[in-house]
Chains A and B, each alone.
Chain A
Amino acid sequence: MREAGHFVREAGLGMARNWRATAAAGLLLFLAILFLSFAVWFRSGFADLYDYIEDQLTMKLYVAEGYETDKVAEAIADMSVVERADKVTGEEQLAAMARFFQNKPRLLEAFSEDGAIPDAISLQLAPGTDYAQLAAAFGEMSGIEKVVYPQALAEQAARWASFAQRYGLLLLALFTAAGFLTVFLAIRLALLQRSREIRLKLLLGANPRLIAMQYALEGLGMGLLGGVPAAALSAGGYEALAAALREEWPSVFAGMIGATAPTLTTLLAVGPLFGLLAAYTAVRGWIRDAA
């Protein structure tokens, strides 16, 4: 136990000796974990909103009296620009809207005045379809009473969300790889600088596992240095944003969940685990060869 204590102290001294490499690795891990944390918070907090925006992107047709929605939907499904045409009942539409009127039941009731919302046909259109032109064409068809299609804002929001999802993942992967590589290189550099000392310790009878532990602890330290502030900052930032959004648009963001303890705990653990893993990868083979 006292022997392990020696290597723990050596890990601390090693980090202090190589403080520049430690700080660089910590900073990159900070950025990686900050990015990852925001991605996780937003993914969990805005999932409902994203579903809503996606829902708004489908074109809806309301059938005129005297026509059967099922049959019109079947006919439209055969059109080349239509990928899917599904009947959506009034109850289903009301249920989808319900969460946006959680605290305003009267508004929801206003939607269902004079009975239920009429059934509609939800269309999924082929990519590249001109919504406005097609809506105009549907509007002139007999049997179609009303055409609802995405508004410019919803389309823009969906584009941003799609961009963030696609390139956000790429950025996350880049930051993660850079963080891992920096810790790996910082530890390899430390091993190289202290190779003579390590070889001497091994010849004097040091346990190679304890030497490996010393460097794994240095990686853990780098992970703590970068990961913990990043996770804490992201949780604080997300909480503040969620509170502001709930106050500004209560109808949309009332159900947005705050920073939860399990997610925060997981994010707090990611950085240190990441540092530990990168350091262990760097030290494993090296110590085996040196011993």
Chain B
Amino acid sequence: MIRLTGATVRYGRRTVLDEADFHLPEGGVAYVTGRSGAGKSTLIKLITQETSAVGGEVRVEGRPLGEWKKHHLRRRIGILFQAYELLERKTVRENIALAAQVRGLYGEEAERHMRRLLARVGLEGREREYPGELSGGEQQRVAVVRALMGQPKLVLADEPTGNLDGETAAEVMALLHELQREERLTMLIVTHDRELMARFPAACWEVADGKVRSG
């Protein structure tokens, strides 16, 4: 699903990824860990084309990144952020509909999909509420539903439990693993929470000194 071969990313003079290799097969789950500033988020940005490699090759679904139109690729990826990135002035429903609409999902089909996912994450009947009225864990669950609108096969989660307390973080992580199995997703989770990684085992990669090593 995702393959990096000798990928190099530089921000100015600083080399963040230095001829890094990485592979995540279809249907697989992988944690990417490492110290702050090591380049974990850069790996996600590289895949979503927010940044580009100056050397090496990145392939998604077997195709080099250069062959993808940026927005076509992004529609196939569900993305989760540490700070949820919900729009405060929009209701839960509107936040989710935003993803549906930009991905070309409308009407009854979008509605059915949204209801199913909201029920799945335990937020049925909360569609009219605003993000400010929800707890951190609930907001991240709304973000999970938004990420899964349009049925992407790849989910990139950038520290999805970073803003949550221990128990809520565990609930969200459990939910992600369950959804990964149910929806047959390929999932890359950036985290540095070793306790959670031990509780929900999966392949683990560490970013250090510009390299991505299987750990």
Contacts and interface: CB of A to CB of B under 8 A. Distances in A.
B7 to A, nearest CB: 20
A100 B71 CA distance: 68
A74 interface: no
Contact of A2 (B50, B74, B75, B104): B104
Contacts of B72: 205
Contacts of A291: 70
A148 to B, nearest CB: 75
Grouping DSSP codes into helix (H, G, I), strand (E, B) and loop, the A interface class, with mixed when no group exceeds half, is helix
B11 to A, nearest CB: 16
B144 interface: no
Contact of A204 (B50, B79, B106): B79
A196 interface: yes
A202, A204, A291 interface centre (most CB from chain B within 10 Å): A204
B102 A6 contact: yes
A208 interface: yes
Contacts of A197: 87
A200 B71 contact: no
Contacts of B79: 203-204
B15 interface: no
Interface in A257-291: 291
Given A3-B104, A6-B101, A204 B87 contact: no
B37 to A, nearest CB: 21
Interface residues of B, number: 22
B98 A203 contact: no
Contact of B48 (A196, A200, A201, A203): A203
B103 A204 contact: yes
A200 B101 contact: no
A6 B97 CA distance: 11
B99 interface: yes
A203 B99 CA distance: 10
A67 to B, nearest CB: 86
B183 interface: no
A150 to B, nearest CB: 68
A191 interface: no
Contacts of A39: none
A181 interface: no
A4 to B, nearest CB: 10
B102 A3 contact: yes
A3 B101 contact: yes
Interface string B84-98: 010100000000001
Nearest to A210: B102
Given A2-B106, A3-B104, A200 B98 contact: yes
A14 to B, nearest CB: 13
Nearest to A1: B104
Contacts of B99: 204
A206 interface: yes
A201 B97 CA distance: 11
B102 to A, nearest CB: 4
B103 A196 contact: no
A202 B74 contact: yes
Nearest to B72: A205
Contacts of B106: 2
A207 interface: yes
Nearest to B74: A205
A204 B104 contact: no
A196, A203, A206 interface centre (most CB from chain B within 10 Å): A203
Nearest to B78: A204
Interface of B: 48, 50, 70-77, 79, 85, 87, 98-99, 101-104, 106, 146, 150
Top 6 closest A-B pairs, CB basis?
A: A205-B75, A205-B74, A206-B102, A6-B101, A204-B99, A207-B71
Interface of A: 2-3, 6, 196-197, 200-208, 291
Given A200-B87, A204-B98, A205-B76, 14 more contacts: A2-B104, A2-B106, A3-B102, A200-B85, A202-B74, A203-B48, A203-B50, A203-B79, A205-B71, A205-B73, A205-B150, A207-B102, A208-B70, A208-B71
